Amino acid sequence: MTETIDVRGLSCPEPVMEVRNALSGKKTGEFTVLVSNATARDNVKRAVSSLGWKVEIKEIADGFELNLTR
Amino acid sequence: MSREKLLVIVSGMIIGVLAVILVHLGNPANMGFCIACFIRDISGSLGLHGAEVVQYLRPEIMGLILGSFAAAILFREFKPSGGSAPATRFVLGIIMMVGALVFLGCPLRMLLRLAGGDLNALVALPGYVAGIWVGTFFLKSRFTLGKSFPQGSSEGYTAPAAAVILLVFLVMAPPFVLFSENGPGSEYAFWGVALGAGLLVGLLAQRSRICTMGGIRDLILFKDTHLFAGLVALLLVVFVGKLAAGFFEPGFTGQPVAHTDGIWNFLGMLIVGWGAVLAGGCPLRQLILSGEGSSDGLITLLGLAAGAAIAHNFGLAASPEGVSLYGQAATGISLLLLLIIGILNSRSGLSNKTNAGSSVAGD
């Protein structure tokens, strides 16, 4: 079951903080993160990569979808 | 090192180099770039305040917006968006300008002043860090100004269009635009060079997302040095440049466009740091965001411009002689407003704790 974290429209660093909160304590899993702009995309990618999550990015109509797995 | 981090560092270095060049070509000392000062000058030039020594349509500002706009278009990142707490963002813009004019500079100029040997900036820097540190407490209490939403294109084109109109005003100099005949407002590099410098920095800042507040905030929150590296690069380049050119003059007194009131330098920058965390970006970053189509960024800029008018019309802005009584009162009011805005928009922790505390207050 993939959990979706929708942080579209939030100002930095809120997307990163929301995603970090959602991931905290999770050893493995699949998450979908929705962001509305490239800055949030890059910031979330950098943050979760440093935590050891694999990230795949897809462009969607109103932003980007990041698929995280670990 | 990642390509992105290298870009942040290179951006910091180029901002530093251009800042030194702009001062050499005529900008006020330690004011190669100062977003607060420049918006204040534009505000004065349009007649929003009557401080005759700080009135000029600084083309660096228009360049920054248009450079960001060009980069955003080029890299398909131009996205009209907005609608996240416009009134609160406007007030945060006013507050940041009041803080900046109590210190006499935005965070970018604080770094430039520091690199030039102005030790008053060394007092202000801990204030800025402290303000950001306080701001992160609110972020941890899930502070948010709410979501922004996609908007129609006119919302996104407003900032770049306004920048073009201001450039036309600068070149045509219609009689209703005011230009200082002396003081800092009368000191400027040739407009073409200043515009070019602004364009280049706007482009780089859009690509690198460099932000004077973000660099320190991410270091405090996540121990992330990504943006911080750019600030260190900027500081070092200007420091070395000034040292090599013989312009490094360390000291507290006699520094250009500065005062020596330590406590107010500290508190002024504390306000800017705290306000920038709540607004999601320092004044430079707000300019870049407005170029990318964010009307939240633009409304913060309008707040900064209104803040400049308030600061000079009400006599709140500091002068080389120091900070007026009104300026000191405005500092206190700004701190109180930041606390209120912070508490009212935090979703956990602070506001609940405040309520819990008040239940025993009657004893």
Residues of B in contact with A16 (CB under 8 A): 222
Residues of A in contact with B224 (CB under 8 A): 46-47, 50
State in Å, rounded, how far the first CA of chain A is from the last one. Answer: 14
Cβ-defined contact of B222 to A47 (cutoff 8 Å): yes
Residue B301 CA to residue B258 CA, distance in Å, equals 23
Distance from CA of A9 to the nearest CA of B (A): 4
Residue B145 CA to residue B164 CA, distance in Å, equals 30
Answer for the pair B118, B30: CB distance below 8 angstroms, yes or no. yes
Cβ-defined contact of A42 to B209 (cutoff 8 Å): yes
pTM: 0.94
Q: Select from B1, B76, B81, B294 the residue whose CB has the most chain A CBs within 10 Å, as the one to mutate to test that interface.
A: B81
Cβ-defined contact of A8 to B209 (cutoff 8 Å): no
Comparing C-alpha atoms, which of A41, A49, A43 is closest to residue A68? A49
Cβ-defined contact of B148 to A62 (cutoff 8 Å): no
Domain A3-69 CATH assignment equals 3.40.50.1470: no
Over residues A37-50, mean pLDDT: 95
Distance of CA B61 to the CA centre of its chain: 11
> Could you tell me if the ipTM is greater than 0.85?
yes
**Selected residues 11-40 of chain A with any CB under 8 Å from a CB in chain B:** 11-14, 16-17, 20, 36-39
pLDDT in tens, chain B (363 residues): 889 999 999 999 999 999 999 999 999 999 999 999 999 999 999 999 999 999 999 999 999 999 999 999 999 999 999 999 999 999 999 999 999 999 999 999 999 999 999 999 999 999 999 999 999 999 999 999 999 999 999 999 999 999 999 999 999 999 999 999 999 999 999 999 999 999 999 999 999 999 999 999 999 999 999 999 999 999 999 999 999 988 899 999 999 999 999 999 999 999 999 999 999 999 999 999 999 999 999 999 999 999 999 999 999 999 999 999 999 999 999 999 999 999 999 987 544 433 333 333 333
Q: Select from B92, B211, B218, B290 the residue whose CB has the most chain A CBs within 10 Å, as the one to mutate to test that interface.
A: B218
What are the residues whose beta carbons fall under 8 Å from the beta carbon of B232, sequence distance 6 or more?
B12
CB nearest to B150's CB, from A10, A39, A62: A62
Question: How deeply is B197 buried, as exposed, middle or buried, from its count of CB atoms within 10 A (0-12, 13-18, 19+)?
Answer: buried
User: Does the beta carbon of A49 lie under 8 angstroms from any beta carbon of chain B?
Assistant: no
Cβ-defined contact of A17 to B148 (cutoff 8 Å): no
Cβ-defined contact of B148 to A11 (cutoff 8 Å): yes
Distance from CA of A11 to the nearest CA of B (A): 6
